[in-house]
Structure 1
């Protein structure tokens, strides 16, 4: 799906907006039944949370799957039974306006132990340690959705307080897309629904 197709799909979805607690919350319902929910900081317009829900195989509501944001900040009841140990590495994505950003907490190793690389054929980023204590492979959903290539030059990482911070510069196509979407989002009234009658392309 190209950038224009994804933007069109977002514009054509049924959207509901709610402004609450300093956040602009948008719920998208797509024609195929998938749902996406986003939360923006009302003052800075930074995207804080994005989560997805698909229909279950029996047609019921599936669980929300978090793409951006802290898991516990969105819904502490999610996976309440399966609590992770406080010392296990904790992987979260928290973007800025110009960068995709991931944090992996509880990694008590020096920076020179880490290797973070882009694997273009697999469309993913790989994090590993030379002491073989940690390995993680993840993709950038935003780039996958619009089929943009990954570029090693846009990737960097740093380490602070046992937290590995991985940063990937957003391509200009994504920045433009996000600005367009924000314009659409800001047109929505506080708690009203906005149905767009779209002609199929």
Structure 2
């Protein structure tokens, strides 16, 4: 059993079902919380977010690992991040067999990009030949398993001003996800309201 799977098994778990989503809350007992949303049709994680409680007063923000980033609001509850922003926006997705990153607002043609599995940092490194974009993409799924990214698992495409990077899940990750899904299926949904959705 991996360290990560052991932590997940020991965590206090609760969940609710909301339509086609099963939302599972993990409390690790050390100030860390994680929320995952599973699509009930596919059993694939559609969202994963983290919160680390701090000693200072005030509500801690959720850090989105999978899914679209949380919008940032000002004091009038108006979003500060707009959909039509020209800045590149990174979001992560997972499918049954792949990890996926989408970087929106990148208008360059496909041959402009390179995506490299960097063994030293454990990240995917995105570069453009015109030197207009550079980004290191962390792969926490691999880091938790002490695995390094492999170049042969990387593919990418470009359409609608979006660079789509796909990383084929290694066998160890597929096995971990299968074990985790078995744990999640043991958690019975609660009928009362629960703070299971990052806000």
TM-score by length of 2: 0.88
**1: CA distance, partners of 2:189 / 2:3:** 27
Residue pair 1:103, 1:165 contacting (<8 A) in 2 also:
yes
Task: Report the counterpart of residue 62 of structure 2 in structure 1.
Answer: 64
Task: Report the counterpart of residue 80 of structure 1 in structure 2.
Answer: 73
- Establish whether residue 55 from structure 1 lines up as the match of residue 48 from structure 2: no
Residue pair 2:31, 2:54 contacting (<8 A) in 1 also:
no
Task: Report the counterpart of residue 17 of structure 1 in structure 2.
Answer: 15
- Establish whether residue 147 from structure 1 lines up as the match of residue 150 from structure 2: no
- Establish whether residue 120 from structure 1 lines up as the match of residue 113 from structure 2: no
Q: Deviations over 1:36-89 (max 9, x none)?
A: 0000111111110000000125275421000000125xxxxx412332552221
TM-score by length of 1: 0.87
RMSD: 1.7
SS of structure 1 residue aligned to 2:6 = helix
- Establish whether residue 174 from structure 1 lines up as the match of residue 189 from structure 2: no
Residue 36 of structure 1, aligned match among 30, 34, 37: 34
* Corresponding residue pairs, total: 186
By relative contact order (CA 8 Å, sep 6+), the higher-ranking structure is 1
Task: Report the counterpart of residue 190 of structure 1 in structure 2.
Answer: 189
Q: Deviations over 1:139-167 (max 9, x none)?
A: 10111112112111111111111110001
Residue pair 2:126, 2:136 contacting (<8 A) in 1 also:
yes
**1: CA distance, partners of 2:50 / 2:41:** 24
**2: CA distance, partners of 1:106 / 1:61:** 31
**1: CA distance, partners of 2:137 / 2:164:** 14
